[in-house]
Amino acid sequence: MGGRRGDRGHMVTAAQPFPAPSRPRAGAVRHLGPNWYATVMGTAILATAGAALPVRPPGLRPLLTVCWLLAAVLLLVLLGARALHWRHHRDRARAHLLDPATAPFYGCLAMALLAVGGGALTAGRGLLGTRAAVLLDAVLFTVGTAVALTAAVAVPFLMAVRHRVTASEATPVWLLPLVAPMVSAALGPLLVPYLPAGQPQRTLLLACFALFGLSLLATFALLPLVFGRLLTGGPLPGALVPTLFLVLGPLGQSTTAVGKFADAAPGVLAGADSRGLAVLAVLYGVPVTGFALLWLALATAHMVRARRHGARFAMTWWAFTFPVGTCVTGAAALARHTGLVVYGLLACALYVVLVAAWAVAAAHTLRGLLSGELLAAPE
């Protein structure tokens, strides 16, 4: 029997009629970057934000559970695919780390882990049971926070000593590793009630407060660069315009975090400290939400302009999902702590936007996967 050529140019004989099955799978993930974890984040926030809404329409809870389960499955698939990527394509993995446009997306790994963990308690508890949900959240919160802190240090370090970027190259993507600890800060308080009273509960709550400060101050240091680049350097390239929505992430997530601190503080911190956090939730959340709405309008205007100039779908469109979802949870927190109906209406309106954005991004991603375009080598 004659031979034929394998995918690496070697002869495949009758004794070995087919290539090893791992090769095609490994080749398929050669160009799979860490930005793909944004699909997990964007899907998980559907469940988390929906659970935070001040209204609960009939049938919503099962749908949120399905969204969380889909996010968990996506996380498992991507963790496996990225493991293959690191095993078979270390040259590409190293290139991603050394690319200033790609390295910040390693923050998405941390946020994907944290988002699925938090969703286990808010949307998956009915499916898993409370004990399993708490255990899963505790594991993913611990691992996700460790990855978040590593990314928050390692990526800026690489940008300083290896990437050598300039202020004119600043994009909202740079915020990704810095906002990851804020996600930990916002989701950590969910675990506080399940810890022993006293030192363990206070330690976790104040540790989350420290993560809040770490991420907030780093974001405030970087945000002027992004805003300045936008005003003085002209519009971003079409594929990067959706990343403007990433600025909503630290704004909405920090508002969510201070609201969660105020929710968890009674019975954990002293009375004065607890009341202080309740005041902070309003005094911080109201102006930051105002700025988030301003930025949402600005980013939307830039996106409309980009579409008119022929911008096509890119994976950056997933920036429409998770950041907007954090604004939903932030507005819901303000509705709880101010008692104002307008914030509840804002949360519901933004959730409708989130669902529509997720549907568009998911449909285009599925189409790109089926066509092979999204996993093809970049031009």
Sequence-distant (6+) residues with CB within 8 A of 320 are 42, 242, 245, 357, 358, 360, 361
Query: What is the end-to-end Cα distance of the chain in Å, rounded?
Result: 40
Q: How many CA atoms lie within 13 A of 282 on its CB side?
A: 10
Angle, CA 225 vertex, CA 221 and CA 227 arms, to 5°: 110
Sequence-distant (6+) residues with CB within 8 A of 159 are 100, 103, 165, 174
- In angstroms, the CA 216 to CA 249 distance is 11
Q: What is the mean pLDDT of residues 144-173?
A: 91
Residue 17 lies in a domain: no
269: which strand partners? Answer: 266
- In angstroms, the CA 257 to CA 326 distance is 10
Residue 101 lies in a domain: yes
Distance of alpha carbon 224 from its chain centroid, rounded?
Answer: 22
According to the model, what pLDDT value does residue 7 have?
40
Residue 356 lies in a domain: yes
11: which strand partners? Answer: 5
Residue 19 lies in a domain: no
Residue 195 lies in a domain: yes
Task: Please give the share of the chain, as a percent, with pLDDT higher than 90.
Answer: 74
Least confident residue range of 12-26, 58-72, 298-312, 344-358: 12-26
Neighbour tally for 300: CB within 10 Å: 14
- In angstroms, the CA 58 to CA 343 distance is 21
Single out the residue of 30, 103, 123, 43 nearest to residue 76, CA to CA.
43
Q: What is the mean pLDDT of residues 36-42?
A: 96
Q: What is the residue range of 271's domain?
A: 31-363
Instruction: Please name the amino acid found at residue 193.
Output: P
CB 51 within 8 A of CB 122: yes
pLDDT band per the 50, 70, 90 thresholds, residue 26: low
112-126: pLDDT as tens digits: 999 999 999 999 999
CB 7 within 8 A of CB 26: no
pLDDT of 307 higher than 60: yes
CB 158 within 8 A of CB 97: yes
- In angstroms, the CA 123 to CA 116 distance is 10
According to the model, what pLDDT value does residue 31 have?
78
Look at the block and give the residue holding tokens 């529509």: 356
Residue 119 lies in a domain: yes
Give a three-class secondary structure readout of the chain: CCCEECCCCCEECCCCCCCCCHHHHHHHCCCCCHHHHHHHHHHHHHHHHHHHCCCCCCCHHHHHHHHHHHHHHHHHHHHHHHHHHHHHCHHHHHHHHCCCCCHHHHHHHHHHHHHHHHHHHHCCHHHHCHHHHHHHHHHHHHHHHHHHHHHHHHHHHHHHHHHCCCHHHCCHHHHHHHHHHHHHHHHHHHHHHHCCCCHHHHHHHHHHHHHHHHHHHHHHHHHHHHHHHHHHCCCCCHHHHHHHHHHHHHHHHHHHHHHHHHHHCECCECHHHHHHHHHHHHHHHHHHHHHHHHHHHHHHHHHHHHHHCCCCCCHHHHHHCHHHHHHHHHHHHHHHHHCCHHHHHHHHHHHHHHHHHHHHHHHHHHHHHHHCCCCCCCC
Q: How many domains does the chain have?
A: 1
The CATH number of whichever domain residue 129 belongs to comes to 1.50.10.150
Whether the predicted model's global pTM rises above the 0.75 cut: yes
Residue 6 lies in a domain: no
- In angstroms, the CA 306 to CA 284 distance is 33
Q: What is the mean pLDDT of residues 247-262?
A: 97
According to the model, what pLDDT value does residue 379 have?
59
Residue 94 lies in a domain: yes
Q: What is the mean pLDDT of residues 131-151?
A: 97
Q: How high does pLDDT run on average in the chain? A: 90
